[in-house]
Amino acid sequence: MNPSDTAIQAFQRRFSEQPRYLARAPGRVNLLGEHVDYNDGFVMPIAIDRATYIAFSPAGADHTTLVAVDFNETAQFTAETLPDRKQPDGSPLPEWALYPAGMAWALDGAGLSTPAMQAAFASDIPRGSGLSSSASIEMAFGVAWSSLGNWSLPPMQLARLGQKAENHYVGVNCGIMDQFACACGEEGRLLLLDCRSLEYRSLPLPSDTLIVVADTSVRRKLSSGGYNERRAACEQAVRRLARDLPGIQALRDVSVESFNRLSRHLPVLVKKRARHVVEEIERTRQAIPLLEQGKTHEFGHLMNACHTSLRDNYGVSTPELDTMVEIAQSLPGCLGARLTGAGFGGCTVNLVAREQAEAFARSLGPEYEWRTGLHPEIYICQASQGAGLL
């Protein structure tokens, strides 16, 4: 059964009536621009056609009651218990409920009304594989409260409140890309976000391609150390390069040409890390006219180059991710393949000719399993609409 029917039926069972509304918010995958968000660069995600659905109605009481159908669990909160992450009986909110409750908390903080609701929600976005199941819950609840509270916000504002919820209420240090893509997605189009100005627009994604996401089934190892180290290397590079390029704020401000001229002053490892960022930002710049002109193969080459650089310069790939990419790049119809997300495990993203996507997905999984002994998940996706009421 699809997750929207699952949510509606669970609502009927739990509350013995029909839900008044249905909200939907998709997951996302990033096609190009990796590890550049914290360097003021550009990211190029799409919202995917897997989503969280919430069936909901106003509660008529002061309790919000949430049913997480996929976990078969219920949680409650009121305006009074919300700031303490507690339920009315004093018990802590379960982890999954922190995402919707955090959204209510962030909306309240922005002076937006969040009337009590009763809701059941379900999703077909895999959890914790880097397709942003968490942001989709936040954005779907953002949409739900906007309809009950009778207010509206530009999607980017809703995204920023979702990020605030995840950073400060759930306690996960994510950037803006997840909530942004989930809120602002457009059918058949890729999004281009400037992580410095937060300006964005969409670009055409060739209609004769599909996106295939391949989950290596290796969970991202707790790599906050590795992540922080890379951030520190980028900051160190900016400080050193600023001696020759006064006024630069971030690696975004360093051209490939200046970098090649001045990078000999950097320690070897810092130089490799910074090279990835400077060249990746250049790749996203090159990608814009390619997409506008429908030059799909050339865009795919940039994805391949991104993977090589994440592997050799940024050092965030793993043998499993490399294997998945290597197999993909050898299959017919594959235009580009690379690891997506922070790395150290998780998923790859592949741009594949539409008519070959089925065969591609059928070959990729078994070949990976044969080589690694691991069982992967393969998802064929299309670029879909962002969060909204159905």
Contacts with Mg ion, residue ranges (CB under 5 A): 134
Interface map 80-109 toward ligand ADP (x if CB under 6 A): ---------------xx--x----------
Do 292 and 203 form a contact (C-beta atoms < 8 A)? yes
Select the residue interacting with ligand ADP from 104, 107, 131, 328 (CB under 6 A).
131
Work out what residue 68 binds among ligand ADP, Mg ion, none; the CB cut-off runs from 5 to 8 Å by kind: ligand ADP
- Decide if 40 is catalytic: no
Helix, strand, coil tally for the chain in percent (to 5):
45, 20, 30
> Which tokens sit at 45?
């995600």
For residue 71, the partner it binds in ligand ADP, Mg ion, none, with Cβ less than 5 to 8 A by kind, is: ligand ADP
User: Which residues have a Cβ under 8 Å from the Cβ of 175 and sit 6 or more positions away?
Assistant: 37, 38, 163, 195
State the Cα torsion 276-281-282-288 to the nearest 10°.
Answer: 140
Q: Which residue is nearest to Mg ion (CB)?
A: 134
Which one of Mg ion, ligand ADP, none is in contact with 99 (Cβ closer than 5 to 8 A by kind)? ligand ADP
Cβ neighbours, 10 Å, residue 88: 13
| Residue 127 binds to ligand ADP (criterion: CB under 6 A) | yes
Binds ligand ADP by CB under 6 A, chosen from 60, 83, 88, 128: 128
Looking at residues 136 to 165 of the shown chain, list those that interact with ligand ADP (rule: CB under 6 A).
Answer: 137
Task: For residue 144, give the 3-state DSSP assignment.
Answer: helix
Binds ligand ADP (CB under 6 A): choice among 39, 118, 123, 263? 123
* Helix, strand, or coil (residue 62): coil
120 binds ligand ADP (CB under 6 A): no
Edge-first strand order for the sheet with 334-339 is 334-339, 347-353, 209-215, 377-381
CB of 130 to ligand ADP, least distance (A): 5
d(CA 133, CA 28): 8
Smallest gap, in angstroms, from Cβ of residue 135 to Mg ion?
Answer: 6
Out of 37, 49, 70, 178, the active site residue is 178
Does position 133 bind ligand ADP by CB under 6 A?
yes
Indicate if the alpha-carbon torsion angle 370, 376, 377, 383 is positive or negative: negative
Residue number, 127 or 239, with CB nearest to ligand ADP: 127
User: What are 347's strand-pairing partners?
Assistant: 215
In the list Mg ion, ligand ADP, none, the entry touching 123 (Cβ below 5 to 8 angstroms by class) is ligand ADP
Report the interface residues with ligand ADP, using CB under 6 A. 68, 70-71, 95-96, 99, 123, 127-134, 137
